Amino acid sequence: MTTIFDRIRIVLIATSHPGNIGAAARAMKTMGCKRLVLVSPKSYPDADATARASGADDVLANAIVCENLEQALSGCHYVFGLSARQRTIPWPQMSPRECARYAAEQDSAEIALVFGREHSGLTNDELEACHYHVQIDANPDYASLNLAAAVQILCYEMRMASLEQVAPKDNSLPAPVDELERFFVHLEQVIVEVEFLNPEQPGYIMRRLRRLYTKAQPDKQDINILRGVLSAVQRGRRNNT
């Protein structure tokens, strides 16, 4: 029988200090999380990571290193991005507890919790690759959390949700994020071709379209239909030229 911890991956982006990777691994193991994914870490493997892991060597040994976020999220159905900053175009937002309960309800979904750089967090583009923006309710006068502390809080909430035995919901899974990303690439290509979007002055059009479709959570069949429509538009334009 699979548990929530079999389905959750902790994704750390461009971690600058290897000790923070080890501390995050320790935080994960204390709560039962075991799947660590590193995106372009500055130094890994590293003795500092092993020292700070304090016995969570198995989490480090099984960590997957990826070149980019797209690779790290391959096959995921739900992605939660951790960020302390509000954005110009707000993304659907959850608290850590809401995030954990939601993850526990998705019985067979692959889930990623994405943490940004120690000093600058997630970029807008990285948050746009997520379904939800998760914010830890910290002291508004000093909301800066150490990376490992943030990982600890989310892993703790996941553990609490698993112990509460949250009943799974019988929902169809959304399309994996890599398929959704290919749709966005196709969509942008078509709206540039029909001159709805000026690539020289794109504004927020694609960002708003990404938010719209991400909130809708289309499944694989929906994506196939949408891409079929886009392909038909492209064929029609070619036949008329």
Taking 70 as the threshold, does the pLDDT of residue 43 lie above it? yes
Note the pLDDT of residue 165.
Answer: 75
User: Which is more confidently placed, 104 or 170?
Assistant: 104
Tell which wins on pLDDT, 125 or 89: 125
Domains defined along the chain, listed by start: 4-163 (3.40.1280.10), 177-239 (1.10.8.590)
Cα 189 to Cα 195: distance, rounded to the nearest angstrom: 10
DSSP per-residue codes, 141-198: TS----HHHHHHHHHHHHHHHHHTTPPPP--PPPPPHHHHHHHHHHHHHHHHHTTSS-
Model confidence, pTM: 0.92
Structure tokens that stand for 145 in this block: 């959390």
pLDDT in the model for residue 88: 77
Q: Find the mean pLDDT for residues 66-80.
A: 97
pLDDT score recorded for residue 1: 59
Torsion of CA 202, 121, 218, 196, to 10 degrees: 0
The number of beta carbons lying within 10 Å of the beta carbon of residue 129 is 24
pLDDT score of 172 more than 90: no
Q: 10 Å Cβ neighbour count for 25?
A: 31
pLDDT for 114: 98
Q: Identify the band that residue 170 occupies on the pLDDT scale cut at 50, 70 and 90.
A: low
